[in-house]
Structure 1
Amino acid sequence: MNMMIFSKFRFFLLICVIGMLFSCEKVVDLNLNKTDPKIVIEALLSNELKGHQFYISRSLNFNENTTREGLTGAQVKLQDNLGNTFNFMDHGEGVYQSPRMRGVPGRTYTLTVNFQGKIFTAISKMPEQVNIDLLTQTESTFFNETRNAIEVTFKDPPNQVNYYYFRTYVNGEPRSKLYVESDRFTNGKEVKHVLYFDEPDLIAKDQVRVQLYTIDATVFRYLYTIDAIDGSSGPPTAPANPVSNLSSGALGYFSASTVSEKFIVLR
């Protein structure tokens, strides 16, 4: 299960509280251990033929040992614009899985979640697939320290706006660093994007798997905001509300995405 988005949102809540403390002239007694719980949905549908797993949880307080509580008993349904409907099975601990199916590029999907009578919905159109052409081992140097990195090469389709989300795995384990990009400056060009790894660094014989997801504009804005708040691509920015495509105040996102992946073993 990918915990990255949830941990980053918890960090966002803490930054908001700190910002409130420094922006108020009068003394404010804030209880960091009590926050309003929110429904959190992470729903990533791809064009892979498989049972797709979506995750539903409730955010918890800062003083609790885990960042979220998996929720059972929800009704989860996915429908495309041709009327095809897929009902998800409750597998416990907040995991909901579809029957074996694949998303189709160009189709629009509507997610509906009913939890204790409250309805959460989101809509996402699956973009066309963009394939990774090449993974290359490279190096990056910061403050006289050299580390291994991975350069991803792919061709951005011309005459359309494209948004990308990278997921990385090292020796089968997911890495939490969040990478999102648009083709604002690379439309129709060959793109060479460098992915940086730390904690721990990449070493010889590590096997790295890179997944390139194409995402829609709404999901890109949500992930980009989380990335900016967390500081994964630079210094953290001032808190801004991540705008989810989910209704009824839910956190998280629903994305209908195509995916391409490649592997590389470090020298």
Structure 2
Amino acid sequence: MKKAFYYILAFLTFFSCEDVVEVNLPKTEPRLIVNGLLRVDKSQEFIDVRIEMKETTGFFEENTITQVESAVIAYGIPNEFGEFTELAFSSLAEESPNTGIYVPDPNFSSDQRIRTTAAEPSVVFILQISHKDKNYYARTEYAPTVPIDDLEQGDNTLFNEDDIEVIVTFTDAPEVSNYYVFDFGFGNFQALEDQFFQGQQFQFSYFYDGNVNEGQNIAISILGADQEFYNYMDLLVEQTQDTGGVFQTPIATVRGNVFDITGLDNIDIFDNVERPDEYALGYFAVVQEFSENLTIQ
């Protein structure tokens, strides 16, 4: 018993020597996060406009839903000088209270939905947001894409025997440089450029590592992209391969195309070259999407 008592005393003494270490992280100003990826399905009459607004919080905390004072999408074709002689507008409103999801305002005096016929090459879309006394601006050109030629399940594995191989085949549009973003579901994306297969049919494999089960139906999409959106997604994919998706807070700050223009009187400097610390997180893009479904065997 005495020997057992000594063991217990030593055990308690060991754990009583542990200290709680408090990490004092620097406090940062909350930033607006804009998830503005608009996918265009040309078989539908209207673009599915749904833009999610959040704010950053502490390092160990989840991002919080936020509301904006106003959100408007303007779109048109600029002339040779980059000026717009005519613009159409879509006013957005929160879909339901406290959701942070903004859609074309159903209570506006006119229909605010954007028809898919408006999404054509050379059409520029501009997102303007007012949030907590700051004004934000994002500009993007509609990015078309090509359909998926074939989608099938393969037999190969990558790291372990539970891997599921999916083989994607598509044909690159010729004569111009093209960029693509593939959405494999579950927050998994892959960015590609056509540098080595321009104008040719291209095939590649993607491996699921236990996310899918036999009999499960998965949807895989190909999205159009310009070079800026491709670069943004490529960097996010690189940083979030093991963190649960590209819409989580990245390890390092990845700047998108949503800029703080508060107080600027010249919209030509919206890229914030002179104000590197004034920006929101996230991205605004309007891209064509083709989707195919595959049942896992």
Cα displacement (A) at 1:146 = 5.0
- Residue 42 of structure 1 aligns with which residue? 35
**Unmatched 5+ residue regions in structure 2?**
1-21, 77-85, 105-111, 243-250, 261-278
Separation in 2 of the partners of 1:193 and 1:108?
A: 31
Q: Which has the larger radius of gyration?
A: 2
Q: Say which of 152, 174, 182 aligns to 1:158.
A: 174
- Residue 207 of structure 1 aligns with which residue? 217
- Residue 56 of structure 2 aligns with which residue? 59
Cα displacement (A) at 1:87 = 0.9
Q: Are the counterparts in 1 of residues 168 and 203 from structure 2 also a CA contact under 8 Å?
A: yes
- Residue 3 of structure 1 aligns with which residue? none
Separation in 2 of the partners of 1:222 and 1:165?
A: 11
Structure 1 segments, 4+ long, off by >6 Å, are none
- Residue 254 of structure 2 aligns with which residue? 242
- Residue 18 of structure 2 aligns with which residue? none
Q: Say which of 115, 135, 138 aligns to 1:119.
A: 135
TM-score (norm 2): 0.69
| Paired letter, 2:119 | V
Closer, same or farther in 2 for the Cα pair 1:245/1:144, shift >3 Å?
A: closer
| Paired letter, 2:145 | Q
Q: Are the counterparts in 2 of residues 54 and 97 from structure 1 also a CA contact under 8 Å?
A: yes
- Residue 93 of structure 2 aligns with which residue? 89
Q: Are the counterparts in 1 of residues 223 and 288 from structure 2 also a CA contact under 8 Å?
A: yes
| Paired letter, 1:266 | I
Secondary structure of 2:87's match? Answer: coil
Q: List per-residue Cα deviations over 1:56-115 (Å, max 9, x = no partner).
A: 110111233xx2111113311111124111111112321101243335121111111111
TM-score (norm 1): 0.77
Secondary structure of 1:203's match? Answer: coil
Q: Are the counterparts in 1 of residues 162 and 210 from structure 2 also a CA contact under 8 Å?
A: no
| Paired letter, 2:72 | K
Closer, same or farther in 2 for the Cα pair 1:116/1:35, shift >3 Å?
A: closer
Q: Are the counterparts in 2 of residues 132 and 152 from structure 1 also a CA contact under 8 Å?
A: yes
**Unmatched 5+ residue regions in structure 1?**
1-28, 170-174, 233-238
Q: Are the counterparts in 2 of residues 40 and 251 from structure 1 also a CA contact under 8 Å?
A: yes
- Residue 16 of structure 2 aligns with which residue? none
Secondary structure of 1:152's match? Answer: strand
Q: What do you get for the CA RMSD once the two structures are aligned?
A: 2.1
Alignment size in residue pairs:
225
Q: How does 1:172-187 map to 2 (within 5 A)?
A: 175-187=186-198
| Paired letter, 1:47 | V
- Residue 154 of structure 2 aligns with which residue? 138
Separation in 2 of the partners of 1:159 and 1:240?
A: 36
Asked if 1:258 is matched to 2:288, the reply is yes
Separation in 2 of the partners of 1:243 and 1:63?
A: 20
Q: Say which of 97, 113, 119 aligns to 1:104.
A: 119
Q: Are the counterparts in 1 of residues 57 and 64 from structure 2 also a CA contact under 8 Å?
A: yes
| Paired letter, 1:181 | L
Separation in 1 of the partners of 2:125 and 2:178?
A: 18
Secondary structure of 1:225's match? Answer: helix
Q: Say which of 184, 191, 196 aligns to 2:202.
A: 191
Q: List per-residue Cα deviations over 1:228-255 (Å, max 9, x = no partner).
A: 22346xxxxxx76523111121011011
| Paired letter, 2:54 | S
- Residue 69 of structure 1 aligns with which residue? 64
Q: Are the counterparts in 1 of residues 163 and 210 from structure 2 also a CA contact under 8 Å?
A: no
Secondary structure of 2:238's match? Answer: helix
Closer, same or farther in 2 for the Cα pair 1:159/1:199, shift >3 Å?
A: same
Q: Are the counterparts in 1 of residues 145 and 180 from structure 2 also a CA contact under 8 Å?
A: no
Separation in 1 of the partners of 2:160 and 2:292?
A: 30
Closer, same or farther in 2 for the Cα pair 1:256/1:245, shift >3 Å?
A: same
- Residue 16 of structure 1 aligns with which residue? none
Q: Are the counterparts in 1 of residues 40 and 48 from structure 2 also a CA contact under 8 Å?
A: no
Cα displacement (A) at 1:45 = 1.9
Q: Are the counterparts in 1 of residues 38 and 47 from structure 2 also a CA contact under 8 Å?
A: no
